[in-house]
Amino acid sequence: MASEDVEGKIGREILADARAKVERAMKAAQREAETATRHAHEEAKQIERSILEAARRRADSRVKVIQAGVEPERRRLELSEREKVIAAIVADAKARLLKSDGGAYEKALVALAVEAAELLGGGHLIAHVSPEDEKRFGSALPQRARAAAGGLDVVIELRPSKEHIEGGIIMETADGMRRVDNSVGTRVRRAYSELRRAIAEMLYKK
């Protein structure tokens, strides 16, 4: 074989080997690039998941803070509405009693007068009622109260009140030193806590 053919063959083999090495290097580089790209995508997704998770945690925390602030206000408004309903029921019941045309209110008025007379120990007592009740019952009220007082030695004198009385009676001794306020407004205020509890149990009992 001529030397030129040998040299040409060697050159071709070297060139082919070089091409093969280049191709292998390019494929390896491509694989590395693909691997790096895949890892980069995975890292990006992981970062995205971390960011979203952190955002969700912050959002959940914010919601809890808002709910914590809203719940007391919601409860306050609910209780306020309940109190308004209860107060309206008590006021309506009181108004119905005062405007009653039957004997229920008169009996209640006599009972309040007797109770006050007994607390004051009898004797000469002054009874104050509203102008409306004075017109409705007049002198009959002291007479009925004295009769209902049984064995109590009492004289009840009816006088116009210098102060506003919505209903009921205010009784005092003749010298004005002692008095019993049995007006309807005062009695309702005294009993309001108990009335409120009873009404609340009826309306909101679960």
Give the pair of three-digit tokens for residue 121.
């120990």
Q: In terms of domains, do 111 and 59 share one?
A: no
Higher pLDDT, 178 or 187: 178
Q: In terms of domains, do 130 and 196 share one?
A: yes
Q: In terms of domains, do 152 and 115 share one?
A: yes
Q: What is the pLDDT of residue 180?
A: 92
> What's the whole-number mean pLDDT along residues 61-86?
75
Q: In terms of domains, do 76 and 130 share one?
A: no
Last residue of a domain, one of 99, 124, 153: 99
Torsions phi, psi for 34 (to 5 deg) = -65, -40
Higher pLDDT, 128 or 139: 128
| Statement: residue 189 has pLDDT above 60 | yes
Q: In terms of domains, do 19 and 51 share one?
A: yes
Write the pLDDT tens digit of every residue in 21-41: 767 767 776 777 677 677 767
Last residue of a domain, one of 46, 66, 99: 99
Q: What is the pLDDT of residue 201?
A: 82
Q: In terms of domains, do 125 and 159 share one?
A: yes
Q: In terms of domains, do 125 and 200 share one?
A: yes
Q: In terms of domains, do 77 and 128 share one?
A: no
> What's the whole-number mean pLDDT along residues 100-109?
78
Total structural domains within the chain? 2
Q: In terms of domains, do 198 and 173 share one?
A: yes
Where residue 178 falls among pLDDT bands split at 50, 70, 90? Answer: very high
| Statement: residue 98 has pLDDT above 80 | no
| Statement: residue 106 has pLDDT above 90 | no
| Statement: residue 1 has pLDDT above 70 | no
Question: What CATH number has the domain bearing residue 187?
Answer: 3.30.2320.30
Q: In terms of domains, do 15 and 77 share one?
A: yes
> What's the whole-number mean pLDDT along residues 97-112?
79
CA atoms of 157 and 165, how far apart (whole Å): 17
CA atoms of 185 and 167, how far apart (whole Å): 7
Measured N-to-C along each axis, helices 140-148 and 104-120 cross at an angle, to the nearest 10 degrees, of: 60
Segments forming the whole domain that contains residue 139: 102-204
Where residue 11 falls among pLDDT bands split at 50, 70, 90? Answer: low
- What is the number of residues in the chain? 206
The proportion of the chain whose per-residue pLDDT surpasses 70, expressed as a percent, equals 78
Where residue 171 falls among pLDDT bands split at 50, 70, 90? Answer: very high
Q: In terms of domains, do 107 and 162 share one?
A: yes
Last residue of a domain, one of 99, 128, 146: 99
Bridge-based pairing state of the strands 123-129 and 168-173: antiparallel
Q: In terms of domains, do 47 and 106 share one?
A: no
